[in-house]
Amino acid sequence: MERTTVERVARAAHFALSEEEFEKYSKDLAEIFDYFKILDEAPEGEGYGVNPLEVGDVLRDDVPGIFIDPYELLKDMKTYENYVRGPRLL
């Protein structure tokens, strides 16, 4: 792994690396990228993406409506201009 790449990664992660840490992380990053190269060589699956089962829309359509009269709910509460008043927050 090139030193400039390791420096860029260290700068992005806000790390200050010593010379021996540059050597170590350079080797480690090179190994990690080699593993990704192995994954690039894997054959592609045909017909399936990430999920082998088709995922469809299972949610119902929302139908707006009022099921309970708001004035009926507020009639037994202490209100101020149809707002429920609670305790003061400090």
37 occurs within a structural domain: yes
90 occurs within a structural domain: no
Instruction: Say what the pLDDT of residue 12 is.
Output: 92
Give dist(CA 75, CA 2) in Å, integer.
73
85 occurs within a structural domain: no
* Number of Cα atoms under 13 Å in the Cβ half of residue 9: 13
Total number of domains in the chain: 1
Give dist(CA 66, CA 64) in Å, integer.
7
81 occurs within a structural domain: no
Mutual orientation of helices 19-40 and 3-12 as an angle, nearest 10°? 100
| Residue-wise pLDDT tens digits, 36-71 | 888 888 777 666 567 777 777 778 888 887 788 888
Domain hosting 33: range is 3-41
11 occurs within a structural domain: yes
- Identify the DSSP state of 81: T
What percent of the chain shows pLDDT beyond 90?
A: 8
Residue range 23-40: mean pLDDT, rounded:
89
69 occurs within a structural domain: no
